[in-house]
């Protein structure tokens, strides 16, 4: 079953050209799944508080485990374009919390712990899946940047000093929303490019899109294996 975002009252509208903009309900690996085909970003003009809406809708649909994916630039110089990176933690120093404003107790407490958002047992499950599929899998820290411009070389150097391994413009607001609602979170980045200053060449959106197309089959196999092993 496919439901366009435009048919959902008060839902957000996807503006990124490569994002389809629909919810897809179905089965994968014997499990009931809901897929958001198209996500929303701060750089599209939404407030951080707007970005909680899709996750809350999924919670109301009965989703218990959220698998978040993204394309990210490599800060870690040991990474290579095409690598997959399992997120073990994140850094968000840009802008307000997506949970700012009046709290809705039905979605969780006002104050909550995020030291174990990306649970070790779920990360171990993902690493086991990758190993069985003979896939290389990095594990690191995702640094959130607001975009839409790519980062400067100086910003990337600062992010590296702070402990970031990859940088991107999504995922963190969604993960925080899920954490408040006590949903399990698995997050995986596709390293679509080397971040600014790592190589002596500019970063382009076309490079990011191409990396996604090249990795689609491999990434899909990993996701299916992960879903098959979830309780």
Asked whether residue 30 is domain-assigned, the answer is no
Asked whether residue 103 is domain-assigned, the answer is yes
Tokens of 191: 């390293």
Asked whether residue 117 is domain-assigned, the answer is yes
Q: Which CATH number do you get for residue 183?
A: 3.40.50.1580
Query: Are 42 and 92 in contact, with CB atoms under 8 Å apart?
Result: no
For the chain, the first-to-last Cα distance in angstroms comes to: 23
Asked whether residue 91 is domain-assigned, the answer is yes
Asked whether residue 5 is domain-assigned, the answer is no
Backbone dihedral angles phi then psi of residue 142, each to the nearest 5 degrees? -95, 130
Note the pLDDT tens digit of each residue in 143-170. 999 999 999 999 999 999 999 999 999 9
Query: Are 43 and 148 in contact, with CB atoms under 8 Å apart?
Result: yes
Asked whether residue 57 is domain-assigned, the answer is no
Asked whether residue 55 is domain-assigned, the answer is no
Note the pLDDT tens digit of each residue in 74-102. 999 999 999 999 999 999 998 899 999 99
Query: What pLDDT is stored for residue 210 in this prediction?
Result: 95
Segments forming the whole domain that contains residue 112: 65-229
| Average pLDDT value for residue range 114-135 | 98
Q: Which of 116-120, 163-167, 174-178, 204-208 has the lowest average pLDDT?
A: 204-208
Number of domains in the chain: 1
> What does pLDDT average to over the chain?
96
Asked whether residue 34 is domain-assigned, the answer is no
Tokens of 177: 């929303």
Cis peptide before 98 (omega within 30 of 0): no
- 0.85 exceeded by the pTM? yes
């Amino acid at each position: 079953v496919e439901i366009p975002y435009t048919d959902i009252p008060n839902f957000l509208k996807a503006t990124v050209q490569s994002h389809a903009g629909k919810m897809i309900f179905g089965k994968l690996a014997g499990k009931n799944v809901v897929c958001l085909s198209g996500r929303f970003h701060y750089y599209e003009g939404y407030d951080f508080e707007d970005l909680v809406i899709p996750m809350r809708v999924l919670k109301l649909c009965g989703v218990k485990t959220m698998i978040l994916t993204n394309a990210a630039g490599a800060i870690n110089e040991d990474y290579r374009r095409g690598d997959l990176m399992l997120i073990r933690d994140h850094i968000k120093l840009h802008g307000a919390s997506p949970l700012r404003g009046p709290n809705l107790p039905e979605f969780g407490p006002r104050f909550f712990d995020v030291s174990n958002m990306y649970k070790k047992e779920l990360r171990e499950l993902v690493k086991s899946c990758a190993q069985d599929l003979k896939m290389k899998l990095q594990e690191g820290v995702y640094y959130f940047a607001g975009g839409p411009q790519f980062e400067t070389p100086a910003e990337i150097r600062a992010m590296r000093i702070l402990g970031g391994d990859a940088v991107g413009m999504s995922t963190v607001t969604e993960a925080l929303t899920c954490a408040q609602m006590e949903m399990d979170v698995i997050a995986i980045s596709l390293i679509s490019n080397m971040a600014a200053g790592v190589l002596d060449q500019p970063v382009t959106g076309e490079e990011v899109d191409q990396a996604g197309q090249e990795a689609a089959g491999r990434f899909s196999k990993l996701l299916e294996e992960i879903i098959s092993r979830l309780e």
